[in-house]
Amino acid sequence: MSAVGVADRLPRLLSLVPYLLARPGIPIAEAAADFGTTEKQLRRDLELLWMCGLPGYGPGDLVDISFAGDTVSVIEDAGMRRPLRLTTAEATALLVALRTLADVPGVVDTAAVRRATVKIERAVGDAGTSAVAVDVTPAEEAATGAVRDALAAGRALRIRYYTAGRDAVSQRTIDPMRLLIVEGRGYLEAWCRRAEGVRLFRLDRVEDVQVLDEPSEPPPDAEPTDLSEGLFRPSADHRTAVLVLEHDALWVAEYYPVDEVEEIDGDRARVVLRFSDPAWLVRLVLGLGGRARILEPADLAGAVADRARAALQMGE
């Protein structure tokens, strides 16, 4: 099934059971019209629903459907009739995500997000305001607020930004274009005047931000970043290294661009990490104090060992 087919069919499948429960004996043609699809496609959906249900797959675990002539009814709903019940932590986590989305212009249908937020707030009540801790640093919160102000006012920004791949901090003057949430992290897409190109800046790596008293003016040909194939796009000058990370160093796989993550022994991971500066990778591994080890390439593994021996000799 194509990605477009899945995107169209999944919401329909999720909606069919409650729809049919509320309309027993509905003509298939009428149901197909309500869902904006053909009778043939709806019959295929109903045949698929017969194989859906709860683990166990015994009586009462699967969706059961009855056909009478050209009408259809749901006999067994496999628990889908029961209202969704969320724990306080689950509901609060949803509220945090929805409030974040509602404040990001152009990302989603903000009216729908706000309606969903109000419904969950009413269901959760006062407990929903403090049950979940959100890991957002004061610096990231301040940076996000300044970016929103600049976008609303159409102003340029001056930022101090940490580039993890080069382990370097730089000053940039940028023209903000939009805020994004990608893979659970906040990003600012902007025209970087120094690089003369569109760049994505991760908000938790913005160390300082200043709204300038000058207009934000990205060039007319500045195109939004295509994220359809993911955030990280390797370039020709990137090399790859294979590392083994101990449990306390697993954050590396989330913070830096990695191509692969393979769990080892339940609490370690083997990762393929991309880098452009070998000296930066050597410093990273040494700084982890034995909680990371380079398997490949051999020359960098040797460089780490040489630097570690030299440091020990200096301390003797």
Confidence of residue 183 (pLDDT cuts 50, 70, 90): low
pLDDT value for 130? 43
Query: What is the average per-residue pLDDT within 296-311?
Result: 87
More confident position, 24 or 231: 24
DSSP assignment letter at 235: -
Q: Are 271 and 256 in contact (CB under 8 A)?
A: no
Percentages helix, strand, coil for the chain (3-state, rounded to 5) are 40, 30, 30
Confidence of residue 60 (pLDDT cuts 50, 70, 90): low
How many CB atoms lie under 10 A from the CB of residue 2?
A: 7
Q: Are 240 and 273 in contact (CB under 8 A)?
A: yes
H or E stretch at 270: strand 268-275
According to CATH, the topology of domain 3-76 is Arc Repressor Mutant, subunit A (1.10.10)
Which listed CATH number (2.40.50, 3.30.70, 2.60.40, 1.20.950) goes with 239-315?
A: 3.30.70
pLDDT value for 244? 92
Domain spans of the chain?
3-76, 88-129, 138-215, 239-315
Weakest mean pLDDT among 11-20, 153-162, 189-198, 278-287: 11-20
Query: What is the average per-residue pLDDT within 272-288?
Result: 84
List Cβ neighbours of 53 (8 Å cut-off, separation of 6 or more): 61, 62, 63, 78
More confident position, 63 or 146: 146
The CATH architecture of the domain made up of 138-215 is Roll (2.30)
Q: Which pTM was predicted?
A: 0.47
What average pLDDT does the structure give for the chain?
A: 78
